[in-house]
Chains A and B, each alone.
Chain A
Amino acid sequence: MPSFLFWNTNRKPVEQAIVRLARKHNPDLLILAEYPVEREELLAKLNEGERAKYTLPGGFSERLSFFVRLPPDRFVSVTDKPGIAIRRFVPSVGGELLIVAVHLPSKFHATGDDQKYLAVDLQRAIGEAEGRVGHRRTVVVGDFNMDPFEPGLVASHGLHAVMDRRIANRGSRTVNGTECPFFYNPMWSLMGDVDGRSPGTFYYPKSGPVAYFWHMFDQVLIRPTLLERFDQRSLCIMSSDGERSLAGSDGRPDGKRASDHFPIGFRLRD
């Protein structure tokens, strides 16, 4: 049952929190964005006293760091582009997966139109990689810097990620003569504060008329071929590292002590 944890650490040296998260959730694949410290340093701390060791796979992604609890030959680089790292992931059991980790530019550095085009670019890169590996057992995870309802995530020529697995299970739809494959976006189910959980992964108050306050920038998207294996109940936003809160007293990500994003985690069944 491969498990995954993604965290945008916002350039903060949060090794201890990462180690605690890893001890608590045991992710087979730990993906970090904006991690500022030497990866080897963190690797040593992650493996201290642990029987199942993490390794640092090859690849040249600048923004995204991977720590894998598998032999390096089971995690193979496919493509690196700015903010996009695509890897083949071969768990001990279950079929090979295509993992697409992303950290797209923030709204401080890109306009809404920029983000739409970047989503198209990402979709092309995923399609190309799926063609090369010959399957669509694809998981996209990371900081999209867009909410699930924004055009880059929803549009047919963008990521085409829908909130309803029955629609996703149709596989694809044809728009203007082009077949556009679906993703399922389970993050829709975590939006809002039901049961007192965090309403999103990132908090940003705006003074203008339209302010969402909470954003779900950190997401996982699943191709329909993996839907049966996706454990919806495992999907979570982590507001604690297991010992210490990653949130301030107001429940928002504590950007001073930790990161301005909360981590997310999920599992796939074997």
Chain B
Amino acid sequence: MQHSYFDHNATTPVAPEVLETLVACLGQVYGNASSIHHFGQAAKQRLEAARRQVAALIHADAAEVVFTSGGTEADNLAVLGAVHAAPGRDKHVITTAIEHPAVLAACAELEREAVAVTRVRVGSSGVVNPDDVRSALRPATVLISVMHANNELGTIQPIVEISRIAREATVPLHVDGVQALGKIPVDVNALGADLYSMSGHKLYAPKGVGALYVRKGTRLVARAFGGHQERERRPGTENVPGAVALGAAAELAGRNLAAESERLAALRDRFENAVLGRISGAGINGARWSRTPNTSNLYFEGLDGEALVIALDLRGFAVSTGAACSSGAIAPSHVLTAIGLGADRARASMRFSLGRTNTAAEVDGLADALEASVAHLRRISVHA
């Protein structure tokens, strides 16, 4: 059976150009980037070239990019590292109810250290209201952490407005950019972000590499100990092939961003128009405007999303209901709950996330399979 992949917000395939660069690097560049000799220097050169490529994609200075093991580590380092670096004893953090667990769980860890945390609510649009961030500010606020684009809904958050509020209050702003990078233009200066998290495997690079942008002058302490690498922010021998792959992926993404965004948005709209036109009781979760171009979160009234994911997989279409838990079972999504969906509607919701290799024919096939599966599931639930 032909399998089509519509789960790019979970992870992306490694781009052929990235794979080629990665394999060549793995084979040839084995020096330790901290070593003085020829081999170490060769590794260091590749590492720094990759850093420049990543910096270029987000309009940052190369010295502001810290390589990590991925998005989760970047988020943890940003949240824990910035709060621990802040002076004073009473500390307060503002984040939102729809953040990725890499941010929310780090905040929960801070609460155990007696740091106060405000999780700003969002309405049904899935977009944070900057005024709510402003009213959450306290004298003790030491960090604001808001994601750039939501992983489940694709909704883009008003980072520019929030960064203005942060700047006025002289509070650093962390932006989890994992789901935005490569999908929409990212300029950390225009956004006003002080910290910006990135993940390789959402950008057609392999798993196990990511990066954190740290604006010059932002106070951040390391969360791991043992070496001086990455300007004392992230110890451990550098993953040079991983960084090189991320660099190649960043360059590729920057080169194709405008055209690819437009293509994906057209495909996504084609898919949504087909589904909403042909399947009754279906609709979009969250705001239709201001989304990443590849993401579509839809609900199908009365259906069990879990059954629909399995039915579609057996027809050769890989989609997702939301975050998967450790054993692989599907747990209710905290994002859908946070935007006010009841248990039934959350259960009836699905995420379709398109990517570079998807074609119009695949999208049409998905819409057909979805129509057939929804009809089948509704037919049997009538008899049940």
Question: Are A and B physically bound partners?
Answer: no
Residues of B within 8 A of A (CB): none
